Chains A and B, each alone.
Chain A
């Protein structure tokens, strides 16, 4: 187990390194440089380029960047958005906001999606299933930012039920009220994905032989469904959590922007547009790290829920 996890961590580090390398190269190859401003005198521009090592070849720049991060924990400073402020501090303030939003959204999506999936599977090919499946198709095909914009207009602007934009430093009731809209907008997709996935899995296990055996051995329909069908169809769900978590994260890139939420997603978009590369790359690393970690956690969870995987190596 320890060997497995350390092997996985090593592979993760390698993956992360590759991601960082590629994104660093891509960012530096993007056209444009904030110091290419005719208003800045030549001398100042050269001094700035020298300060941020922009006058060196890209390999050397990458070397400086890696040494800063690995040796000194120095992620560089923001150049445009909040000049001279360390990137690490900028992100550190924003990560809790984003993570909070994402986790709340997942905590809502999973049970709701499971509930709808079970209802659809049990009422297969009847009215509830058709209604749920229709809603699922809608929610999967309409992007979250459309929901966000529509809800923001009707529920926040026209009806005034919720605040239109997010305000920092709110607590208690006011805080809950302002995250309702973004969380909902983030949740439609995952709810729909969970519903669809669980419906398919459950229908398959419901018609499985062991389900038949459970019934012929004399269990009631309810017991057989809960103990055999439901339990077994939840196992592959574990795997889809990764996809959902990453999906929610990327969804929040846009949603945070719509509701002016001071999270990682919002700052990353701003940084890309403003060519504030140190911030962009730090945000990218954050997203990659979260994705990789969630994949690892889910793989470990898989072993916990499925004995065939847990004991596979010992056999």
Chain B
């Protein structure tokens, strides 16, 4: 374990040589529900570097989608941002009024939805759905808007764009609809693209092509991408850096290599251990016992402690701070404390990582 040292919760920026286009600092948000106040996101901080892809992974309810909704300013009415700021281009988006926010949405930050089947308006022609933002918000003349839409449709790989322009969503397949959603997201040339599980609703063969498309678009337009997913296989192909979320907190963040080859947090171990792969000998997949905690009453100490076979006494008492593992790699687990007894990751995972290293 190198460079182990205790640092504050507001941990240092990743020491890459590029600039951050988006910074989330100490963000907490909660939902008022009938059952009580759900603390969906608790004091998370991360930044997005220019031109990188940051993947946020975690199971359902870990707060990853909500975080992106907060960035887009489309939180539902019963949500409130309790602490923290979202810094973009010198603005704190948390304080931005709705009347101003639509200048950010779409134009500076684009969003790709999880379910392309319901994301398009069923009664509006595909072309109109792409061009409306161009002529309503950017005041582009309609002929020019159409040309641009056709360019976009071709760019996202839609054949016969001219003809498809006048069709309705029900005449498109799922993959084609997701391409349209992508075209809409990049229509007004945003700087940041947020992909909220963009391939979850698609079948596997289409998934790969959509991911490739997102990667190409990112390269061509020099976009910075936040990629939300619970599929670690997708992460490996897409991400420069990975943030692992659990129970509304980022428990580990680092480069893809950091997370896949030298994971530190037992939750990350558990996630990685549960990916099936073809090379594995007859081994059982690891599963994570129990269920995620009820975020109306978040547990004291480490939220993962109850499901963690490596938990220590302190996990039930105090929340672990972010420990720096390397200049790019941080994890919030007491394992990394200098006084913690040494623990080893599960053998299954160790074996798999050595295979990955050998393969790579």
Contact = CB atoms under 8 A, between A and B. Distances in A.
A216 B106 contact: yes
Interface in B12-34: none
Interface stretch (B35-43, B113-121, B142-150, B204-212): B113-121
Interface in B117-153: 118-124, 132-133, 136-137
Given A219-B137, A231-B123, A212 B74 contact: yes
B111 interface: yes
B72 interface: yes
Nearest to B123: A232
Interface stretch (A43-51, A171-179, A274-282, A307-315): A307-315
Contacts of A306: 123
B119 A218 contact: no
Interface stretch (B184-192, B235-243, B268-276, B320-328): B184-192
A212 B119 contact: yes
Given A210-B120, A210-B121, A219 B136 contact: yes
B140 to A, nearest CB: 12
A308 B120 contact: no
Interface string A235-278: 10000000000000000000000000000000000000000000
Interface in B140-170: 168, 170
A213 B181 contact: yes
Interface residues of B, number: 32
A215 interface: yes
B75 to A, nearest CB: 11
Nearest to B130: A217
A212 B113 contact: yes
B123 A235 contact: yes
A209 B115 contact: yes
Nearest to A208: B118
A311 B118 CA distance: 19
Task: State which size class the interface on A falls in.
Answer: 20 to 34
Contacts of B137: 218-220, 223
A157 B72 CA distance: 60
Contacts of B181: 213
Contacts of A85: none
A196 interface: no
Nearest to A213: B119
A216 B111 contact: yes
A228 B171 contact: no
A217 B122 CA distance: 16
Contact of B120 (A213, A219, A231): A213
A315 B106 contact: no
Contacts of A167: none
B107 interface: yes
Contacts of A217: 105-106, 110, 132-133, 184-185, 187-188
Contacts of B168: 307-308, 311
B184 A213 contact: yes
A223 B72 contact: no
Contacts of A311: 168, 171
Contacts of A228: 121, 124
Contacts of A315: 171
A216 to B, nearest CB: 4
Contact of A216 (B72, B120, B171): B72
Given A210-B118, A217-B184, A308 B106 contact: no
Interface in A86-131: none
Given A221-B102, A232-B121, A216 B110 contact: yes
B225 to A, nearest CB: 15
B188 A218 contact: yes
B107 A218 contact: yes
Contacts of A212: 74, 113, 119
B203 interface: no
A182 B356 CA distance: 82
A227 interface: yes
Contacts of B133: 217-219
A214 B103 CA distance: 13
B98 interface: yes
A215 B124 CA distance: 15
Nearest to A231: B123
Nearest to B104: A218
9 contacts: A208-B118, A210-B118, A213-B121, A215-B102, A216-B72, A217-B106, A218-B137, A219-B133, A228-B121
Given A212-B119, A219-B106, 14 more contacts: A213-B184, A216-B72, A216-B74, A216-B105, A216-B110, A216-B111, A217-B132, A217-B187, A219-B102, A219-B132, A228-B121, A231-B123, A307-B168, A315-B171
Interface of B: 72, 74, 98-99, 102-103, 105-107, 110-111, 113, 115, 118-124, 132-133, 136-137, 168, 170-171, 181, 184-185, 187-188
Which 10 pairs across A and B sit closest by C-beta, in order of nearness? A218-B106, A209-B118, A217-B106, A216-B111, A210-B121, A307-B168, A217-B133, A209-B119, A213-B119, A218-B105
